[in-house]
Structure 1
């Protein structure tokens, strides 16, 4: 086994670690933006940055899997764990990668839960507003009840 692919794997792991650290910081910013009810534009910018980093992480992940295959390991977590056991010089990087990936996953899941909660609350508020704005109580520009009103029409006869 040549040293070059192993050195490339080590460099790849270090690059992934760096990207995931930045990704985690962006997720923490996203959490704060969500909790602060930040303007949509701030969340949009944060999401764009997060997606860009996710693409970069995926590219490095693919490179890592290819390097594992080149080195004779399976292209998955088990293969990386085995490589780290057989090559102690990459063990610390492997452990750091696993830890940071778990931290990022937990933050992302938490942010997803916050977003889901906000969406549920917004839908409940919209449903409440829709009930309060009973179509039978709303008039068109001519001052007439809208068609399909829920109020029954009553015929009134004079005396």
Structure 2
């Protein structure tokens, strides 16, 4: 492995480290939105940023794989482990990257669980509303979201 390739690999891994730090910060923002009052607009913006950083991480991972292949090491985790053993200057950034990636994964799993809870709650609410309509109960609102017309003999709540 040439010194230039080691330097390129180290630079790539540092870029990955910076991006995984940014990714974790975005995940933390996502957590705040998920546990706070529903702000769908903020969640959409966060999701777009998260997707952008994830794409950049994939690109850098592919760059790292290319550099590993150029020097005859396996691609992926195994090759990076070998590179870190062969070139100690890579070990620190590799360990930091592994630690930060594990942390980001934990946050992402937590957010996934929060989203699952929200989805189940929403589904249960929709099911309850459907059951009210199916039980023959008088409709509170019509299809346009306006108060349903009173049945004969019923007085409106608000004089109009």
Q: What TM-score bracket applies, with the shorter chain setting the length?
A: 0.7 to 0.9
1:17–1:100 CA contact under 8 A, matched in 2: yes
Matches for 1:1-159 after TM superposition, within 5 Å: 1-134=1-134, 136-138=136-138
Unaligned runs of 5+ in 1: 145-159
1:72 Cα deviation (Å)?
A: 1.4
1:68–1:79 CA contact under 8 A, matched in 2: yes
For residues 123-156 of structure 1, the C-alpha deviation after alignment (integer angstroms, 9 at most, x for no partner) is: 0111111112236334788989xxxxxxxxxxxx
Give the TM-score normalised by structure 1: 0.84
- Structure of higher CA gyration radius: 1
Alignment partners' CA distance in 2, 1:110 and 1:77 = 24
1:109 Cα deviation (Å)?
A: 1.0
Instruction: Tell me the equivalent position of 2:154.
Output: none
1:78 Cα deviation (Å)?
A: 1.1
Determine helix, strand or coil for the equivalent of 2:75.
coil
RMSD over aligned Cα atoms: 1.8
1:16–1:97 CA contact under 8 A, matched in 2: yes
1:13–1:93 CA contact under 8 A, matched in 2: yes
Aligned pair count reads 144
Unaligned runs of 5+ in 2: 143-147, 152-160
Distance 1:142 1:24, change over 3 A: closer
1:6–1:71 CA contact under 8 A, matched in 2: no
